[in-house]
Chain A
Amino acid sequence: GAVVSQHPSWVICKSGTSVKIECRSLDFQATTMFWYRQFPKQSLMLMATSNEGSKATYEQGVEKDKFLINHASLTLSTLTVTSAHPEDSSFYICSAIYVRDRGFHEQYFGPGTRLTVT
């Protein structure tokens, strides 16, 4: 159990276009999901916290208008990279919080989406 999927797994788009990445918790409901980006040979950088039914909380330095996050249901969060540029090319990873019995939170990661902007 506790599987998180991402779609697409990889995408190539032209500069100036927008790309939407989906993150789904397949067998549990997740009120909170996180979005990370990872550049080659670097660590994960938290971009934003996505809360179901409310606005996302962005980390310092992350442009809200460029990286639109929508957490419309308890099993789906989407990240839209608007007007993508080559410097947005990266590996985007989402994670979802699964709340176990007694309220203990566990974080499960999606397999990642590799975005290449040409």
Chain B
Amino acid sequence: AQKVTQAQTEISVVEKEDVTLDCVYETRDTTYYLFWYKQPPSGELVFLIRRNSFDEQNEISGRYSWNFQKSTSSFNFTITASQVVDSAVYFCALSEGYNAGNNRKLIWGLGTSLAVNP
């Protein structure tokens, strides 16, 4: 069965601290995609990254970095030098198959609420 686990429900850090959000997934497919989304208080989902199962290279985008490890089925997200504007709920999600017909259901984790305090 497909499943995404974000064990950290809430994290609170002080500005400029580094913080890592964990994501562990389960799937039987060999082809799948992993995503991270940010949901600020406004509610609108902000796409952060998509990673396919064949690409285990870590990715860095500014203060954001992602560590994908198939051996541990994890896709962790690190924010370096956190800022107050990073305060949001962050969701990890899984999508199986290259194209499941016209469907592309996402399996969502429960989210991690990050509070960055000044």
- Considering the chains assembled together, what is the distance between the CA atoms of A112 and B46 in angstroms? 12
B57 at the A/B interface (Cβ < 8 Å)? Answer: no
- Considering the chains assembled together, what is the distance between the CA atoms of A104 and B97 in angstroms? 11
- Considering the chains assembled together, what is the distance between the CA atoms of A33 and B96 in angstroms? 17
A43-B111, A112-B43 are contacts. A97–B106 as well, Cβ < 8 Å? no
Q: Mark A73-93, 1 if CB is under 8 A from B, else 0.
A: 000000000000000000101
Interface residue stretch chosen among A18-26, A44-52, A61-69: A44-52
Task: Identify the closest chain B residue to A107 (Cβ).
Answer: B104
- Considering the chains assembled together, what is the distance between the CA atoms of A107 and B107 in angstroms? 13
A-B contact count (CB 8 A): 46
B30 at the A/B interface (Cβ < 8 Å)? Answer: no
Q: Report whether A32 and B110 are in contact in the complex, using a CB–CB cutoff of 8 Å.
A: no
Q: Which of A34, A93, A109, A114 contacts B105 (CB 8 A)?
A: A34
Contact-residue size bin, chain B (C-beta under 8 Å from the other chain):
20 to 34
B25 at the A/B interface (Cβ < 8 Å)? Answer: no
Task: Identify the closest chain B residue to A109 (Cβ).
Answer: B45
Q: Mark A92-109, 1 if CB is under 8 A from B, else 0.
A: 010001000001110101
Q: Report whether B104 and A42 are in contact in the complex, using a CB–CB cutoff of 8 Å.
A: no
Q: Mark B44-56, 1 if CB is under 8 A from A, else 0.
A: 1101000000000
Q: Report whether B99 and A109 are in contact in the complex, using a CB–CB cutoff of 8 Å.
A: no
Going nearest first, the 7 A-B pairs with the smallest beta carbon separation are A111-B44, A32-B102, A109-B45, A112-B43, A105-B104, A43-B110, A43-B108
Interface residues of A (CB under 8 A from B): 31-32, 34, 41-44, 46, 49, 51, 91, 93, 97, 103-105, 107, 109, 111-112, 114
Q: Knowing that A46-B105, A49-B105, A105-B102 touch, tell me 13 more A-B residue pairs with CB under 8 angstroms.
A: A32-B102, A43-B109, A43-B110, A43-B111, A51-B102, A91-B43, A93-B43, A97-B104, A103-B99, A107-B104, A107-B106, A109-B45, A111-B44
